[in-house]
């Protein structure tokens, strides 16, 4: 039997099958892109449902999400509304998945080297700084100035879903740029939440949280690969940070940073073992229509499956394992609880001319594309950061407009910024309107770029 290498065992047969039309092979980025795009549809349905529910049956909508739920352990008791438990408990899992994506990109993705990271990181900084300044200008020295973080965020699911509509009309480099930009933007949003949206700190709980973090670091250092260990320690980090006064969702990103990114096997060991197991598939005549006819084949398949499990990292397993929960439960529940904008008692014209609305809408629609495009240009000139192959400046401007879609993270920061219900409703309406305008503008420009590029 010929020697089996990583190339001729895995890659070459896959390409041959693809040419025969029997299988389609997609790379890691395409898988990630499809996963993110798929997550936008449950979110859209939940957001529309919340809007309809809040306007047709407002009493039931508000009574449900403001219903108090208590967590009690002995003399300890913590009471929060249902919507707050979603924001501070379930959304911690969303931020955990965001943290896993950030760590993967920093280790092996578009943020892995300075040359790769320079462009999206600079773009993210510009896309956060300029919208925040625009909002601050409209709300300077007013009680609503705390909302400056709202227009800073980019919703990765919605923005990439719009790119998916364009398909092959735009270069894949545009998708890579916007994905890396959105991930860097998420990291910036987490830092903003932890640094600027924390009212007070209970240092005793924060000290206990640090002890749990040390335990996580020690588990990683000792090569412990049992996800249950990280789950239990992660719950400890979440609970203590929740009690410390820092927003509990930050715990999700912190825990993600300690998840191991190496498997039990290295690549060479995996290839050697698979090669040995594949030799068990040699047949004298015909192999048969099922492996159940041959005990050696069954053992070989089982051993290959175990080898795949051992070479896969806990970071990969958790990222894919938690994805369905985030996509089909957590984010739709968040959208359902936070997207219900009641228009019955709202004066639309006054709401849209309110400083909060002007700051958010202009921040998303104008600030995002200006900040992202300007800082991307600066990065190419001062840091010699190259654009991806086939990407033109019209693509960068179009993608930066899509960066103004700030739905999920903007709604989240809005909930942290305001305590007055009327202002919160105005901010939600502005986020939706600004995101819709950004979506339409970015899609139109990128469609135009595809037609102009063909001429």
Tokens at 22, concatenated: 């029997």
H/E element holding 81?
Answer: strand 76-81
Tokens at 426, concatenated: 């105005």
* CATH code for the part of the protein at 39-80+111-197+326-454: 1.20.1530.10
Q: How many angstroms from the chain centroid is the CA of residue 49?
A: 22
Q: How many angstroms from the chain centroid is the CA of residue 169?
A: 25
Secondary structure class of 383 (helix, strand, coil)? coil
Cβ atoms of 42 and 27 within 8 Å: the answer is no
Please give the full DSSP string across 120-182, using - where no structure is assigned. HHHHHHHHHHHHHHHHHHHTTTSGGGGGGGGGG---HHHHHHHHHHHGGGS-HHHHHHHHHHH
Residue 292 CB burial class (10 angstroms; 0-12, 13-18, ≥19): exposed
The span from the CA of 139 to the CA of 354, in Å, is 9
Q: At what angle do helices 249-256 and 91-108 cross, to 10 degrees?
A: 30
Question: pLDDT tens track of the chain, all 455 residues?
Answer: 334 333 333 333 333 344 444 444 455 555 555 555 566 788 889 989 999 999 999 899 989 998 988 877 777 778 888 988 898 888 899 889 988 988 988 888 888 888 888 999 999 999 999 999 999 999 999 999 999 999 998 888 888 888 878 878 888 889 889 988 988 998 888 889 888 887 778 899 999 999 999 999 999 998 888 888 999 999 999 999 988 888 888 899 999 999 998 888 788 888 888 888 887 677 766 676 777 777 777 888 888 888 888 888 889 888 888 888 888 899 899 989 988 888 887 888 899 999 999 999 999 999 999 999 999 999 999 998 888 888 999 999 999 999 999 888 899 999 889 989 899 999 999 999 999 999 999 999 999 887 765 54
Domain boundaries, the chain: 39-80+111-197+326-454, 267-308
Please give the full DSSP string across 285-326, using - where no structure is assigned. S---SSGGG-HHHHHHHHHHHHHHHHHS-HHHHHHHHHHHHI
């Amino acid at each position: 039997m010929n020697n089996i290498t990583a190339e001729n065992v895995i890659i070459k047969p896959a390409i041959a099958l693809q040419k025969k039309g029997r299988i389609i092979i997609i790379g890691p980025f395409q898988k990630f892109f499809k996963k993110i795009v798929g997550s936008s549809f449950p979110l859209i349905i939940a957001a529309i449902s919340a809007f309809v529910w809040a306007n047709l049956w407002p009493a039931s909508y508000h009574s449900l999400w403001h219903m108090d739920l208590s967590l009690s352990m002995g003399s300890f008791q913590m009471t929060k509304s249902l919507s707050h438990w979603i924001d501070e408990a379930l959304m911690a899992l969303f931020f955990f998945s965001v943290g896993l994506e950030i760590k993967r990109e920093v280790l092996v993705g578009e943020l892995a080297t300075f040359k790769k990271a320079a462009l999206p990181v600079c773009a993210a900084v510009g896309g956060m700084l300029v919208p925040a300044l625009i909002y601050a200008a409209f709300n300077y020295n007013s009680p609503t100035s705390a909302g400056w973080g709202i227009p800073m965020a980019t919703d990765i699911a919605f923005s990439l879903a719009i790119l998916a509509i364009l398909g092959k009309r735009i270069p894949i480099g545009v998708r890579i740029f916007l994905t890396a930009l959105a991930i860097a933007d998420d990291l910036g949003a987490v830092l903003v939440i932890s640094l600027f949206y924390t009212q007070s700190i209970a240092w005793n709980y924060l000290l206990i949280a640090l002890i749990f973090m040390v335990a996580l670091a020690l588990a990683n250092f000792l090569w412990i690969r049992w996800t249950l260990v990280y789950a239990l320690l992660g719950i400890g980090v979440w609970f203590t940070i929740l009690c410390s006064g820092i927003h509990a969702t930050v715990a999700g990103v912190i825990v993600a940073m300690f998840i191991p990114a190496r498997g039990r096997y290295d690549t060479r060991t995996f290839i050697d073992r698979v090669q040995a197991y594949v030799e068990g598939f040699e047949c004298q005549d015909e192999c048969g229509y099922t492996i159940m006819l041959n005990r050696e084949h069954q053992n070989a398949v089982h051993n290959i499956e175990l080898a795949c499990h051992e070479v896969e990292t806990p970071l990969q397993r958790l990222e894919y394992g938690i994805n369905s929960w985030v996509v089909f439960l957590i984010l739709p529940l968040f959208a359902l609880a936070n997207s219900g904008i009641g228009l019955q008692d709202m004066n639309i014209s006054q709401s849209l001319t309110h400083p909060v609305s002007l700051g958010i809408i202009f921040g998303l629609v104008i600030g995002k594309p200006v900040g992202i495009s300007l800082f991307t240009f600066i990065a190419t000139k001062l840091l010699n950061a190259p654009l991806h192959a086939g990407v033109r400046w019209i693509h960068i401007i179009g993608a930066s407009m899509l960066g103004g879609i700030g739905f999920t993270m903007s709604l989240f920061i809005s909930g942290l910024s305001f305590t007055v219900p009327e202002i919160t409703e105005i901010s939600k309406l502005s986020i939706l309107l600004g995101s819709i305008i950004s979506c339409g503008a970015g899609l139109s420009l990128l469609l135009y770029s595809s037609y102009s590029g063909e001429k």
